[in-house]
Structures are given as structure tokens and as C-alpha cells.
């Protein structure tokens, strides 16, 4: 058995440290397992994540408390407690808090009222050919904002663009190695 501690991520600070300035109060508790990343996301009223996609990573989000809206295939849908939305490879999606009613107050969250609490799982599908030592690297970096299409050099549009050149090439080699499987989805 291995006990896994949460990494508390204040997204405004994390993004600012990487040179990206976005107005967000989103807080995540992320757990990095060997082939899976699990994050509890605390959404505040009016909070909207950026629309994004993953090339090699599947994602599913479940609402634990409150209500959130998810955007997929160009349409916003309401998810209530207990519902799950699964996003396919290459599918642009995003999440926003859909209600102003607080569902959680916590001193750990600096007393800010949370209107949506979700758990999000990200994993590499078993049909992809990715070496064990590359799985966490892919899970951590496979994120592309919708703006990436028109501005592929803007570092705020993907963690891949903020990697050193050798790591960036490593990521694209992994994508190319799986192109025959994911090509039409990305």
C-alpha cells in the first residue's frame, strides 16, 4: 500500500508562476497515482475554466456537491450531484460553476464559498502505446486551450509550450507514435 498525499493547487498562483496570468480562484487537490490523476476541484460562483482538449488523455468529471455546467460538442449541459461527464480524446470541453448557492465553506479554502465541487479523473487509455515512465509526463502536460489552434506559440495555451525543448520533443514523439490510433480524434 502507498498513501498518496494531495497536492493543493491554487490555479491563479500556479499559472502566474509559469508566466500565465488568468483571473481564477479555482483550487484543486490533486492526487498523482501511477496511471491516473484525480483532482478535487473547488469552483467559486462565476468561475469558468478555459475550454481545452487532450490529445492522449481521457477525462471524466463527476459532481460531488452543487451543480456545474460542462461544455462539450459546442453545448452547455447541467450536471448535478452524482452525474458524470466523460470527454473523448481531442474533444474540447470546459466546466463552470452554475449556481451562486454556496455548498461548502472551509477554512482550508480561506473561507471562500464554493458553489461546485467536482472530482476529475484523467487517464491514458489502454489502447495507446505509452511507456510506463511516460504516463505521468503525458498526464501532467497533455492540455491544449482552444486558442492553441490560432496561437500555437502562446505559452498560456498549453503546458507543452512551457517545457524545455527536449521535453517538448519527447511529448510530440509520443503523440506521433500513437497517431494511427488517435489521429482522427485530435
Please give the grid coordinates belonging to residue 139: 498526464
The cell 475554466 sits on which residue?
49
Query: Are 139 and 124 contacting, i.e. CB atoms less than 8 angstroms apart?
Result: yes
Query: Are 93 and 102 contacting, i.e. CB atoms less than 8 angstroms apart?
Result: no
Please give the grid coordinates belonging to residue 94: 470546459
Report the C-alpha gap between 4 and 9 in whole angstroms. 15
pLDDT digits (tens, 9 = 90+) for 8-41: 888 788 778 877 777 777 788 888 888 899 998 8
What contacts 24+ positions apart, CB below 8 Å, involve 10-15?
15/156
Q: Give the pLDDT score at 120.
A: 94
Report the C-alpha gap between 67 and 4 in whole angstroms. 28
Contacts of 19 (CB under 8 A, 6+ apart): 155, 156, 162
DSSP 104: B
Q: Give the pLDDT score at 117.
A: 84
Query: 44, 144, 46, 43: which is closest to 93 by C-alpha?
Result: 144
Residues of the chain with pLDDT under 50: 107, 109-111
Q: Give the pLDDT score at 112.
A: 61
Beta bridge partners of 30: 7, 39
How many Cβ atoms sit within 10 Å of the Cβ of residue 20? Answer: 17
Q: Give the pLDDT score at 102.
A: 62
CATH number of 7-185: 2.60.120.10, 2.60.120.260, 3.40.50.1820, 3.40.50.300? Answer: 2.60.120.10
Report the C-alpha gap between 63 and 127 in whole angstroms. 27
User: Which backbone phi and psi does 91 adopt, to 5 degrees?
Assistant: -90, 120
Q: Where are the domains positioned within the chain?
A: 7-185
- Helix (H) / strand (E) element for 66: namely strand 58-72
Amino acid at each position: 500500500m502507498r498513501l498518496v498525499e494531495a497536492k493543493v493547487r491554487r490555479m491563479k498562483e500556479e499559472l502566474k508562476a509559469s508566466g500565465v496570468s488568468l483571473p481564477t480562484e479555482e483550487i484543486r487537490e490533486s492526487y498523482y497515482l501511477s496511471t491516473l490523476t484525480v483532482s478535487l476541484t473547488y469552483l467559486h460562483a462565476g468561475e469558468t475554466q478555459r475550454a481545452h482538449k487532450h490529445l492522449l488523455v481521457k477525462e471524466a468529471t463527476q459532481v460531488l456537491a452543487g451543480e456545474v455546467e460542462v461544455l462539450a460538442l459546442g453545448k452547455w449541459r447541467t450536471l448535478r450531484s452524482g452525474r458524470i461527464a466523460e470527454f473523448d480524446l481531442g474533444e474540447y470541453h470546459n466546466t463552470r460553476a452554475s449556481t451562486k448557492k454556496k455548498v461548502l465553506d472551509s477554512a482550508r479554502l480561506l473561507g471562500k464559498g464554493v458553489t461546485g465541487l467536482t472530482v476529475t479523473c484523467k487517464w491514458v487509455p489502454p489502447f495507446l502505446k505509452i511507456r510506463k515512465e511516460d504516463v505521468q509526463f503525458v498526464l501532467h502536460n497533455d492540455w491544449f486551450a482552444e486558442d492553441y489552434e490560432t496561437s500555437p506559440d502562446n505559452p498560456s495555451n498549453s503546458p507543452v509550450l512551457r517545457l524545455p525543448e527536449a521535453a517538448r520533443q519527447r511529448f510530440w514523439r509520443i503523440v506521433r507514435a500513437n497517431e494511427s490510433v488517435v489521429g482522427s480524434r485530435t
